Amino acid sequence: MRHLMPMILLTGLSGCLAYDYGTAVPYHRHTEPAFAVAVPANAPPIAQQFRPPAERGAPGHMGLDVATTKGTPVLAAAPGVVTQSFSEPAYGNRVIIEHGKDSSGLRIQTLYFHLDTRLVSEGQRVARGQQIGTLGETGLLSSYPHLHFEYHRETARGARIRSGKNWWQGIEQRDPNAYWVNGPGRVTCYTGQSAPADKITYPVACR
């Protein structure tokens, strides 16, 4: 633990300092597909992109990190029902929202880690763009204020339901950049628009 800390801290700082509103870090060079990501000038930066697990067991990064000031509103990326809202040591305050099915009948859910505060409870229905918490750095796996955001799709019809409360079973973690309301790679701030529930708006408030 003692030896890991400086490395974790440096990673966090580079994510914070190098990118400002309206920017995104490049994809890891071996990540395919890699989207051309356009971030609106008023949107907090993407400090880490999705990266599938490499062969030979290297861990991936199964979502997006959005880095900005602690306390910034975190928003539901699409309408749905809160299926999990709790705190645990590793990822801190977390919320999971189930959004129903996409056009091929596969259930979709989104996940929000490291929240400073949670403003929703399990079973609660939320609208697109509704505030569900505030951005933070809770949990041992966070070393600077950011939201770790994931987009999950069922591996087969009904797989998610059969897995019960186990959020990681019956799903695959997909690159969120594929599912923005305005199209792949086109980060879409929430501005009151409506869209299909499997298409997402930015999970952090834009300016």
Q: Any idea what DSSP says for residue 115?
A: E
Q: Report how far residue 141's alpha carbon sits from residue 34's, in angstroms, rounded to the nearest whole number.
A: 25
Smallest distance from the beta carbon of 138 to Zn ion, in angstroms? 13
| 26 versus 192: smaller Cβ distance to Zn ion | 26
Tokens 């992109």 belong to residue? 49
- Least separation in angstroms between CB 61 and Zn ion: 6
- Output 65 or 154, the one with its CB closest to Zn ion: 65
Residue type, 193: Q
Cβ proximity to Zn ion: between 80 and 92 the closer is 92
| CA separation for the pair 131, 114 (Å, rounded) | 15
Q: How far is CA 60 from the centre of its chain?
A: 14
**Nearest-CB residue for Zn ion:** 148
* Residues of this chain that bind Zn ion (CB under 5 A): 65, 148
For Zn ion, the closer CB: 65 or 116: 65
Residues 207 and 42: beta-carbon distance below 8 Å: yes
Could you tell me the smallest distance in angstroms from the CB atom of residue 146 to Zn ion? Answer: 7
Q: What are phi and psi of 11, to 5 degrees?
A: -60, -45
With respect to Zn ion, which residue has the nearer C-beta, 79 or 136? 136
CB of 73 to Zn ion, least distance (A): 19
Distance in Å, CB of 203 to Zn ion, minimum: 12
Task: Tell me if 113 sits within 8 A of 148, measured CB to CB.
Answer: yes
What CA–CA distance (Å, rounded) separates 184 from 175? 10
